[in-house]
C-alpha cells in the first residue's frame, strides 16, 4: 500500500492504484453509509420506492445505511430522473458540497439510460453524462430490494449479478443475458 | 387496551425482511428481467415485433440501426462477426420492464423473469446482445458497444 509514487506510471499502474483506492473507499463505507437523494426530474416512482426503504418492512437502517438531508453529511449521492437541464446545476452543486470520497448511484431507467425520456433539449438523458457513476440500478422503478442490492454493491457488500457475475436466469446459456463479453466493456462512467 | 396491543404485536412477530441474508421471492406476476431464448427467436427471418413494441427502444436490431447517429440512445455498433446475421441487443438500462415485448413476440422467445438484482458497476454491463443467424441460432459474444 505504501509504495513510492512512480515516475512514469503505466496505464496498468494507474488502474491498479485506482482499484486499490476504490477498495479502500468501499471498506470505509461498509458499515456506515449516509445517503443524499437528489431528484433530477424523476416522475416520483423511484422516490416512492426509495421512501419504502425506511419503512419497517425494508428497514434500511438495520444495514447501517441512513438518509441525510445535507450533502455535507453524505457519502453517497442517489440520483433519480433523466437529469433535466434545470436540475443539472443544483445536482453538480450537491456533488461538490459532498466530502471526498463520495459515491454516486444512478437509480431507475431514466438515470441509467434516459428511460422513456431519452436525451432531448431539456434532459441530459443519463447521469453518466454529468457525473462519474459508481453503480447503476436499472428498473422502472427498481424495487426496494433492487435498491438495497445496488447500495450494498456500491459499498462492496454484494456481488454484481449481471454479466461479470455470470448470472444465468434460465438455467442455460441460451438466454440473451449472461452473454460472456470477451473484455469488460470499455464504457467508463464519464464519457469523453 | 395496552395488553391487547402487546399480544397482537407478539403474535405478529418480526415483519422486517431478511433480504440480503436470505433471497426474497417477489410475488407472482412481478416483471423483472426479460430474457430471450435464442433458439426460438426469429429475428434472423426478419421478425422485429419486439423492436417495434419496445417503448424506450431498449431492444434494437443492428440491421435496423445501421448507420444511424446519436439519437440519445446507445449507438449500436455493427458487430464484425455478424456476417449474414442480425445482432439483437437489449439494453437493460433503458428497459422499463413493461412486458410489451413478451406480448408482441409471436414465437414466445422472450419471457419475463422475477429477477430484480440488476445493479451493475459499469454501464456496459447492462447491454446484452445475441447474434442470430438463419440456420440454427448462435449464441456468441459480441463487440463492445461504442459510447456515443
| pLDDT per residue as tens digits for the range A68-99 | 999 999 999 999 999 999 999 999 999 999 99
CATH number at residue A86: 3.40.50.12280
Q: Which residues in chain B have their CB less than 8 angstroms from residue A181's CB?
A: 124, 141-142, 144
Residue A144 lies in a domain: yes
Residue A2 lies in a domain: no
Evaluate if residue A156 carries a pLDDT over 90: no
Residue A70 lies in a domain: yes
Please tell me which residue, B113 or B146, carries the higher pLDDT value: B113
CATH class of B30-132: alpha beta
User: What average pLDDT does this structure show over B69-96?
Assistant: 59
Summary mean pLDDT of chain B: 75
User: What average pLDDT does this structure show over A54-59?
Assistant: 92
Please tell me which residue, B57 or A37, carries the higher pLDDT value: A37
Using the beta-carbon criterion (under 8 Å), do A191 and B37 form an inter-chain contact?
no
> Which of A27-36, B20-29, B77-86 bottoms out in mean pLDDT, i.e. has the lowest?
B77-86
pLDDT at A3: 60
Q: Tell me how far apart the alpha carbons of residues A119 and B136 are, in angstroms, rounded to a whole number.
A: 37
Closest chain A C-alpha to B5 CA, distance in angstroms: 17
The number of domains in chain A is 1
Closest chain B C-alpha to A103 CA, distance in angstroms: 11
ipTM of the complex: 0.74
Residue A192 lies in a domain: no
What is the DSSP track for chain B? -HHHHHHHHHHH---S--TTTS--PPPTT----EEEBTTT--GGGT--HHHHH-TT--EEEHHHHTT----SS-B-PPPTT-TTSEEEEEETTT-----HHHHH-TT--EEE-------BSSGGGGEEEEEE-SSS------PPPBP-
Number of CB pairs < 8 Å for A and B?
A: 199
pLDDT at B138: 46
Closest chain B C-alpha to A41 CA, distance in angstroms: 16
Domain of A84?
Answer: 31-157
Amino acid at each position: 500500500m505504501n509504495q513510492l509514487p512512480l515516475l512514469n506510471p503505466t496505464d496498468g499502474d494507474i488502474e491498479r492504484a485506482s482499484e486499490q483506492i476504490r477498495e479502500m473507499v468501499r471498506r470505509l463505507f461498509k458499515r456506515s453509509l449516509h445517503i443524499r437523494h437528489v431528484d433530477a426530474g424523476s416522475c416520483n416512482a423511484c422516490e416512492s420506492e426509495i421512501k419504502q426503504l425506511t419503512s419497517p418492512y425494508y428497514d434500511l437502517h438495520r444495514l447501517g445505511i441512513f438518509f441525510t438531508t445535507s450533502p455535507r453529511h453524505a457519502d453517497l449521492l442517489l440520483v433519480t430522473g433523466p437529469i433535466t437541464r434545470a436540475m443539472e446545476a443544483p445536482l453538480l452543486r450537491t456533488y461538490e458540497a459532498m466530502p471526498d470520497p463520495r459515491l454516486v448511484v444512478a437509480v431507475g431507467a431514466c438515470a441509467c439510460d434516459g428511460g422513456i425520456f431519452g436525451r432531448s433539449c431539456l434532459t441530459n438523458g443519463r447521469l453518466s453524462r454529468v457525473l462519474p457513476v459508481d453503480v447503476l440500478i436499472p428498473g422502472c422503478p427498481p424495487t426496494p430490494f433492487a435498491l438495497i442490492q445496488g447500495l450494498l454493491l456500491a459499498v462492496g457488500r454484494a456481488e454484481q449479478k449481471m454479466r461479470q457475475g455470470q448470472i444465468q436466469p434460465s438455467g442455460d446459456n441460451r438466454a440473451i443475458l449472461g452473454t460472456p463479453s470477451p473484455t469488460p466493456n470499455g464504457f467508463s462512467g464519464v464519457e469523453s | 387496551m395496552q395488553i391487547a396491543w402487546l399480544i397482537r404485536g407478539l403474535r405478529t412477530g418480526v415483519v422486517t425482511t431478511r433480504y440480503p441474508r436470505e433471497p426474497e421471492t417477489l410475488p407472482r406476476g412481478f416483471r423483472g428481467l426479460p430474457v430471450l431464448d435464442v433458439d426460438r427467436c426469429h429475428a434472423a427471418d426478419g421478425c422485429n415485433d419486439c423492436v417495434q413494441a419496445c417503448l424506450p427502444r431498449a431492444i434494437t436490431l443492428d440491421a435496423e440501426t445501421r448507420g444511424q447517429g446519436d439519437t440519445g440512445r446507445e449507438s449500436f455498433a455493427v458487430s464484425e462477426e455478424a456476417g449474414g446475421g442480425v445482432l439483437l441487443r437489449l439494453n437493460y438500462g433503458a428497459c422499463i420492464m413493461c412486458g410489451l415485448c413478451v406480448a408482441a413476440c409471436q414465437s414466445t422467445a422472450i419471457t419475463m423473469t422475477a429477477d430484480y438484482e440488476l445493479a451493475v458497476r459499469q454501464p456496459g454491463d447492462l447491454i446484452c446482445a445475441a447474434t442470430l443467424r438463419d440456420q440454427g441460432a448462435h449464441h456468441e459474444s459480441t463487440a463492445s458497444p461504442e459510447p456515443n
